[in-house]
Amino acid sequence: MTPNPYEPPTSAVELRSDIVDRTQRDEFAESIRRFLDESITAFEFDELVDNYRDSQDSAVRFVAQAVWYHYDDCDDHLVSLSKPEWDYFQRLLLLLESNSRVQSRNSRRWSVSQLVALCSLLGFAWIAFHIGWSSGLLLAAMPFGIISIGIARLQRPVATHGPYDQLVFPFKTLSDLRATYHAVKFRKTRFPRHIQSRFIRSPFMCGIYQLQFYLAWLMLSPLALASQLLPATETHTEVIGESSTNVD
């Protein structure tokens, strides 16, 4: 996880080009607006987002990754966002309407977590060697799953963002956000309060899915521990203003 809850994890958002594809940005912004005004459902929106994941435009790629975490691609639904999420989508639209680009820098962090994961994995291997590959091995894996869940929590980086970061991200400061608003002459769309009470699935089903997730984590803990041998990766995202951008 990254310090900012809205920042996408490391993926395809690294800077590969500095071009601004004005056509793609306008088309993508229109697709987002259609989703926000309930003209299309999540499944339809997801198909549109797929067209932009490998764009040569760094801002388009970033937005394609960012919006994916705010709808469900398993159960179809109309837009279901909180007020902070809605405001975040407005800033993503602002980014697309500007000529700014996005630069992401990855850093890898080693810690004692990797050593704990290695010792736990060796401990499980020792148990597996002695009891053999049987159904009892799944039960033997569950205590190591608790360790793995603990490691996952420890690997979360300490938040270093300022008090206003969640209000301006992906922009760096309020001044940057305000300057881009004025340059683009962007107008936010008012939050429709009726969507605030909308949910994708019932709290009961959310609890069932979460229970299934953690049970799978406990029983398949060796796989999780193996992945936790790698250093944790943190992504730092920066919006670079229009003056240093080439427009296509």
- Who has greater pLDDT, 6 or 157? 157
Of the pLDDT bands very low, low, confident and very high (cuts 50, 70, 90), residue 157 is low
C-alpha distances in Å from residue 32, one per residue of 1, 10, 40, 92, 167: 25, 22, 9, 9, 20
In this prediction the pTM is 0.79
Question: Is residue 225 pLDDT above 70, yes or no?
Answer: yes
> What are 11-41's pLDDT values in tens digits?
444 445 568 999 999 999 999 999 999 999 9
Q: Where are the domains of the chain?
A: 19-247
Q: 234 has which bridge partners? A: 107
